[in-house]
Amino acid sequence: MVLLIGLNLYHLAIYQQIKNKDNIKLYLKSIFYIVFFSSICINVHFGQIIPIVQSPDSTAIDTIPNAIDSTILQPEAPPFDTITIRFSKDSIDSEVLYFARDSSDLRVQSKKLYLYGEARVKYKELELTADYIEIDIEKNLAIAKSIHDDPAHRGFVTFKGEGEEVQADAIEYNFKTKKGLSVLTRSKFTDLYATSTKSKFVSREDDDDVIYGTDAIFSTCDAPEPHFGIRTKKQKIVPDKVVVIGPSNLEIMNVPTPLVMPFGFFPLKQGARKGIIFPSDYDFSPALGFGLRGIGYYFPINDRMDLTLTGDLYLRGSFNVYASSRYLKRYKYNGNLTLTYSRQLLEEQETGLYAPNISGGIRWQHSQDAKSNPNQTLSASVNIQTNKNQSTIYNDAASVLTNTLNSNVSYSRRFPGRPYSLAASFGHSQNTQTRRMDITFPVVDFQVQRLYPFKRKSASSPKPRWYEEISFQYSSKLSNRFTTTDTTLFTKMTLDSAQFGIQHRTNVNTTFKLLKYLTFIPGVDYTETWQFKTIDKVFDPTFIITPRDTMVVDSQIFVRYDTIPGRIVTSQIPGFRAWRTVTVSGSVNTQIFGTVNFKKGIVKGLRHVMKPSVSFIYSPNYQNPNLDYYRRIQRDINAIDSVFFSVFEGGIFGTPPQSGKQLGFNYSLNNIFEAKYRLRSDTADRKFRLFDNINLSGNYNAAADSLKFSQVNISGVHRMFKGMTTLQANLALDPYMRDDMNRRINVFAWNAERKLLKLVNFNATLSTALALRTVREWLEGKDEAGSSQQPSNPELGPQSLWDVFDNFTISHTLMVGVAKIGDRDTFMIGTNNIQFNGNLPITKNWRITLGSIGYDFNRKQLTYPDVGFFRELHCWEMGMTWQPLRGTYNFYIRVKPSSMDFLKVPYRRNNIDGPQRL
């Protein structure tokens, strides 16, 4: 106080001297010292120092710095005397930053600060934002309120803490006790929104923060007024851990429902954790009863793998079990495995008894990062189903119409610095209609790269000598195959069907240039096959009487029989047997180019590429009795007719060639036609392929005693409209005549009918796949690579008719053929159907899906339509799928996938309850 009085006296003395204009600088300097020392005195009086801190937006922000209880601040010695300052014990332990867009008012006597307009206060990790904030410096208290005087402005008070964010109409927070109160609080935790009338939140350094509330509603709807939610009177929220609620009930559009819960909890912790999976759907089936779908348990095995066990349970004893595991090792590999087991108890109409229908499935996908190990790779794509498991559980078109399933697991290993490699694989093919299943396992393939044993390491002449081009290659393959049905897969019958064998192949060839433009490649191929099981056939002359059918006439039973005079009995003989083949071959090929250029017109030139090839092949007669590869056996009791059979029939590598001695000459001519054109808008020529691979081929066997010429086969491919339409054609012509049984006879067509070649058959396939987005870009003159067409914004809905059909595909297949039946050429239509697939966004909220809908013009019926309708309802969604041919449908109204997606109303009919099963 004494210092202030002295400063004022100093001010009066200076003022007396400013009458002279030369002393104006002295007066301004005195004013600066008076203000500076006065501010120090005022803040020392209150026990605080408030420095000025510049904010990032260049606006001055007052701050409250660290206060040290009972500590004396010792600054560096200034050029003037130092001042000892003692801070209050009640001051806070960190600085408080504040900002106001409109104005701020600091009242020293009441020790309060008022902030107006986009006010913001930050203390440590806590931040408070509001239209109006009042800070009581003495009580360490902040009061924030929202202002609603402008109807266009709906402000909120926002409080951000460690891992939490709260919005409210008003918040009161104590910086010292770290406790606060709020009114009309709205918080978000993961995907869960909590709105409460009053809340109290407590921040604790040594424990988790807690929020207590009354009269709250929890929902995953982000609307200001939630469309649905769970209303409760009391709740406790531990951010990032759990929400615990007391007695509550479900509200929809602010209307309470009869659904009441005595208590509940919502986990908020993110990341992998074990726990119960609540049912994803509810079901009622007249055949299966009431059921829960998707109930199960989740196991996070470690950071790289998890396991999900779910199931569908029905009151009448039927169930489906699913085990799904995902795994991932970054920069190494990733994949997933799903096992399915289904047991359905169905009532048999004849007996009225319940019989189990058991099916299962295995799905495995595995991929390896290409950079993880360039010398070793493992990939897998497995899809095995038993007893039509896929179409039994699901009704979509892809699951029902897929008749062929394939699997492949492959492993390969390269040895750096070595000329060989090793590969192993597992293969599977399955037809769900015939139930036939072929499994090839194991398959081990050892390959030796082509070697040039006579090539010199350092040649004195740049031109290699002829013997240096002689190369050698070897490969060995071990394979085993099981043939079974999907219902007998895990039985002894499958093991008994195993066919095991090993095959060795070696090849020696070389390359010569003839007449500068011809390439001659002679070679010798040797193959040796080892089998560990052969067959033998004998004729059993015993008469076999087999009943054919039974008739009942006037209460008398009549049975008709088919009498078979003898039969051929086949038996398997275990033991090692080998068969060998040798083939000597040579081929000559070249390429011929023809070009025609035009100076006028759009077409600038035509180009024809011909690739002729002529080869010869020699192989001995493997039906020689001395080799014992083939045997002859009678097939009737009179021994008039006999048949050849191979003792290696059924082997995994087939049988030795049964065409007799071969001294054949093969010929082929491959043709490619291209055109070059330029439009007026183009700056460079464009290429267009007129015909792809028009191929003509055949052969002549000089060692045959008859029918030395083979059929002449002609095939070609033509693509139109930038590959959207493809035309494939195949034509077979024969130089020989045929008998009434359509068998070739040794009479030339030229000698009989003066025709060089006779038509055997002709077939053509015209397939079109139109993606309407591609058609749109094509009509607009945009290339696929340079298209700038941006997809429509789904938030705005379709803006034009093109946007509706952007994801729509139309497919049409037409297969026609001409075959010689008797003396007449018969025209046939093999396939003629049209398919529609796509997703049609009719409006912003409505869309229609066509899983598969089409029409078969031959059968004159629809081809399994699968139609879906979907409606967007903000936080809800409504949908329906319908398969009319199967009589199945699924209708639902449900909350969108979230923490509350268990709220749904399903109504469906499965294929078990439908009028027919596919």
Q: What is the pLDDT of residues 503-524, one digit of tens each?
A: 999 999 999 888 888 999 999 9
Burial of 135-169, coded b for 16+ CB within 10 Å and e otherwise, reads bebeebbbbbbbeeeeeeeebbbbbebeebebbbb
Q: Is the pLDDT of residue 573 over 50?
A: yes
Radius of gyration of the chain from its Cα atoms, rounded to whole angstroms:
44
Q: What is the pLDDT of residues 280-318, one digit of tens each?
A: 788 888 888 888 988 999 999 988 999 999 999 999 889
Q: Is the pLDDT of residue 500 over 90?
A: yes
Q: What is the pLDDT of residues 395-428, one digit of tens each?
A: 777 788 788 899 999 999 999 989 999 999 999 9
Q: Which two tokens stand for residue 833?
A: 């159907």
Q: Give the confidence band of 918 by pLDDT, cuts at 50, 70, 90.
A: very low
Q: Is the pLDDT of residue 157 over 50?
A: yes
Q: Which two tokens stand for residue 718?
A: 């033509």
Q: Give the confidence band of 159 by pLDDT, cuts at 50, 70, 90.
A: confident
> H/E element holding 246?
none
Q: Which has more confidence, 788 or 582? A: 582
Q: Is the pLDDT of residue 60 over 80?
A: no
DSSP 841: -
> H/E element holding 104?
strand 103-107
Range scoring the smallest mean pLDDT among 550-564, 589-603, 675-689, 742-756? 550-564
Mean pLDDT along residues 712-733: 90
Q: Which long-range contacts (CB under 8 A, 24 or more apart) does 630-636 make?
A: 630/656, 630/658, 631/537, 633/537, 633/538, 633/539, 633/568, 634/539, 635/539, 635/568, 636/565, 636/566
Contact by Cβ (8 Å): 736, 752: no
Q: Give the confidence band of 10 by pLDDT, cuts at 50, 70, 90.
A: very low
Question: How far from 10 is each of 2, 27, 280, CA to CA, in Å?
Answer: 12, 10, 84
Q: What is the pLDDT of residue 861?
A: 85
Q: Which has more confidence, 540 or 581? A: 581
Cis peptide before 442 (omega within 30 of 0): yes
Mean pLDDT along residues 455-480: 84
Report the amino acid identity of residue 411: Y
C-alpha span between 395 and 852 (Å, rounded): 12
State whether residue 389 is helix, strand or coil: helix
Range scoring the smallest mean pLDDT among 148-162, 205-219, 786-800? 786-800
Mean pLDDT along residues 637-655: 84
Query: Which residue(s) pair with 389 in the sheet?
Result: none
Please give the share of the chain, as a percent, with pLDDT higher than 90. Answer: 34
Please give the share of the chain, as a percent, with pLDDT higher than 70. Answer: 81
Q: What is the pLDDT of residue 646?
A: 93
Q: What is the pLDDT of residues 239-271, one digit of tens each?
A: 878 889 889 999 998 899 888 888 887 777 776
Q: Is the pLDDT of residue 83 over 70?
A: no
Q: What is the pLDDT of residue 800?
A: 61
Q: What is the pLDDT of residue 426?
A: 95
Q: What is the pLDDT of residue 310?
A: 95
Q: What is the pLDDT of residue 64?
A: 36
Mean pLDDT along residues 821-846: 85
* pTM score over 0.75: no
Question: What residues contact residue 729 under an 8 Å CB cut-off, 6+ apart?
Answer: 715, 716, 762, 763, 764, 765
Q: Give the confidence band of 486 by pLDDT, cuts at 50, 70, 90.
A: confident
C-alpha span between 449 and 416 (Å, rounded): 12
Question: What residues contact residue 321 under an 8 Å CB cut-off, 6+ apart?
Answer: 309, 310, 311, 340, 341, 342
Q: Is the pLDDT of residue 755 over 50?
A: yes
Mean pLDDT along residues 651-664: 89
Mean pLDDT of the chain: 81
State whether residue 189 is helix, strand or coil: strand
Q: Which two tokens stand for residue 188?
A: 């978000």
Q: Is the pLDDT of residue 65 over 50?
A: no
Q: Give the confidence band of 109 by pLDDT, cuts at 50, 70, 90.
A: confident
Q: Give the confidence band of 94 by pLDDT, cuts at 50, 70, 90.
A: confident
How is 653-693 classified by DSSP, letter by letter?
T-----S--EEEEEEEEEEEEEEEE--TT-SS-EEEEEEEE
Q: Is the pLDDT of residue 756 over 80?
A: yes
Q: Is the pLDDT of residue 446 over 90?
A: yes
Mean pLDDT along residues 373-401: 85
Q: Give the confidence band of 649 by pLDDT, cuts at 50, 70, 90.
A: very high
Counts for the chain of helices (H) and strands (E), in that order: 8, 53
